[in-house]
Chains A and B, each alone.
Chain A
């Protein structure tokens, strides 16, 4: 709450700074000198430069022709032709790029949605019912958080190819449905925020367990659920190893795999360098905007998880 004080007084568009000087120092720390303020701001600006540099490069590069991509200074515009680049990206090879984008949306959207619901059910049960094997189950799930996903992908491929599931949409979707971290977060959140009295009252009123879960529990757990959905969505969207291992048909590729397949052919077909850069720009910008817009949801869930961790 205290952090918001300075943030709120500075308009995002960098308004007048004169009035900001009257902002009372937060946290009760007095004696903020101009020098330390300049130092802190300088460090923050330098860090912002570091994090934004490649993004800026991408913006500039996405407007260039293949020739200018290699022949002109990387951090400044040269004969911008963004629209014709964009047109090439979306029409190349029968518009395969759009198909990859749709696949990514399918994998990430459906995967994250199902994962969130399953984690909510499991976490809620772990928090609000006592049953045999409950602690064992929770510990096993915690162990799952610690296992690197890429160590699982290879044996999963062998297993799925035996079952005829490799190189299908299911090969990427099924593993996306499972979020041990989601279960962990839901258990902690449900334990802290759903009062037993409310559940008891609902039971006395004759409500069934499923109804109590959907009407009472899901509603109270919404902030945690939003966080899990976002985590899982970004995780699936950014995943590379699993689809790389599972998929051989380019029509099933998500955008990450599609772009690297373009990049890997680029020595023979230099035009693909420009398509890779343009395609990366188109795929990254919407997610970045979403990221900034949804920041507050990430935060609300993150603390719930880490405070008790």
Chain B
């Protein structure tokens, strides 16, 4: 019988290996999603005269969702992050790809130094980056604003029209270097023979970039874009930190900020849950939709 016990153990082994992760995954992913969906279709109802007769939680269907979607501030916050994403995602991807190609180009020197310099901000937490840039935005403190004033340019980096792009700058500053690293890593996997072949075909530096490097960068560009989309929709720490110095940022500036505010300032957990579910759905649909659009093979991510 010496072979039977190990064979049975081998059948059970994969489950034992998967179990700890799966258990925690259920606890921190599946369960919160389920609970948020449950909370989002419930609400607290007050009974008795003037609502003083006590309260009970009742099923209200999609009312919290319709409440959220008919709240102008919340809808505006969604529009705001979508506008933000429409500008920031292409800027981020183009900047990262541009820097990666420059670093990879034949005439680049000191590659190691530049790569390290670009990657440094990734180690700076978003809140701390926002505190730093906040000082660089506030008039009277900022050497940038001051310097531009000396040149006769007056800009309000925290005004209603500009503060969203000041936030976009912080986000780009934080993550572009990381994306550059991913893209440079991908460029390094391109075999030398391909360059050789391109050269024999008479391709110049620019043609090589267009026809050899960019197509082979595709997978990394897709990865970068998806992560940027997900990150963009989560916008929270940056506007929260800049809120005290910019009167244009309100407590529903982004969907996340709105949900946080509903839950912890207004004690409206049910509406907050509905907003969180809407946010997760939007992120899921956008990144999955993008993958679908890009990936001709379909579901094979």
> In the bound complex, do residue A147 and residue B280 qualify as a contact, i.e. CB atoms below 8 Å apart?
yes
Q: A43-B102, A57-B136 are in contact. Are A234 and B122 (CB under 8 A)?
A: yes
Q: Which of A20, A53, A156 contacts B109 (CB 8 A)?
A: A20
Q: Which of B122, B182, B187, B204 contacts A3 (CB 8 A)?
A: B187
Interface residues of B (CB under 8 A from A): 6, 9-11, 13-18, 20-22, 24-25, 27-29, 31-33, 35-36, 39, 99, 102-129, 131-133, 135-136, 140-143, 146, 173, 176-177, 181-182, 184-189, 192, 195-196, 198-199, 204-205, 208, 219-220, 222-223, 226, 230, 233-234, 236-237, 241, 244, 256, 259-260, 263-264, 269, 272-273, 276-277, 279-280, 283-284, 287-288, 301
Measured between beta carbons, the chain B residues less than 8 angstroms from A193 are none
Measured between beta carbons, the chain B residues less than 8 angstroms from A283 are 128
> In the bound complex, do residue A180 and residue B25 qualify as a contact, i.e. CB atoms below 8 Å apart?
yes
A137-160 contact mask (Cβ, 8 Å, vs B): 1 or 0: 100111110111111101111110
> In the bound complex, do residue A158 and residue B35 qualify as a contact, i.e. CB atoms below 8 Å apart?
yes
Measured between beta carbons, the chain A residues less than 8 angstroms from B10 are 203, 209
Closest chain-B Cβ to A272's Cβ sits at a distance in Å of: 12
Give the size category of A's interface with B. 35 or more
Q: A6-B109, A147-B280, A180-B25 are in contact. Are A292 and B119 (CB under 8 A)?
A: yes
- When chains A and B are docked, how far (Å) is the Cα of A153 from the Cα of B221? 28
Q: A174-B24, A209-B9, A280-B131 are in contact. Are A152 and B29 (CB under 8 A)?
A: yes
Of all chain B residues, which has the CB nearest A52? B117
Measured between beta carbons, the chain A residues less than 8 angstroms from B27 are 174
Measured between beta carbons, the chain A residues less than 8 angstroms from B117 are 47-48, 51-52
- When chains A and B are docked, how far (Å) is the Cα of A12 from the Cα of B201? 36
Q: Does A240 contact B (CB under 8 A)?
A: yes
Q: A32-B107, A148-B280, A309-B301 are in contact. Are A141 and B219 (CB under 8 A)?
A: no
Measured between beta carbons, the chain A residues less than 8 angstroms from B283 are 146-148, 151
Q: A-B pairs with the 4 shortest C-beta distances?
A: A74-B143, A155-B36, A125-B17, A129-B14
Q: A156-B32, A284-B123 are in contact. List 6 more A-B contacts (CB 8 A).
A: A44-B108, A47-B99, A129-B17, A159-B32, A234-B123, A295-B116
Q: Is the interface of A mostly helix, strand, loop or mixed?
A: helix
> In the bound complex, do residue B31 and residue A6 qualify as a contact, i.e. CB atoms below 8 Å apart?
no
> In the bound complex, do residue B234 and residue A150 qualify as a contact, i.e. CB atoms below 8 Å apart?
yes
> In the bound complex, do residue B118 and residue A48 qualify as a contact, i.e. CB atoms below 8 Å apart?
yes
Measured between beta carbons, the chain A residues less than 8 angstroms from B102 are 40, 43-44
> In the bound complex, do residue B106 and residue A29 qualify as a contact, i.e. CB atoms below 8 Å apart?
yes
Q: Which of A6, A174, A287, A305 contacts B111 (CB 8 A)?
A: A6
- The contact sample of 11 A-B pairs, CB cut-off 8 A, is A1-B188, A12-B113, A28-B192, A57-B132, A75-B143, A137-B18, A137-B22, A175-B28, A240-B236, A305-B223, A306-B219
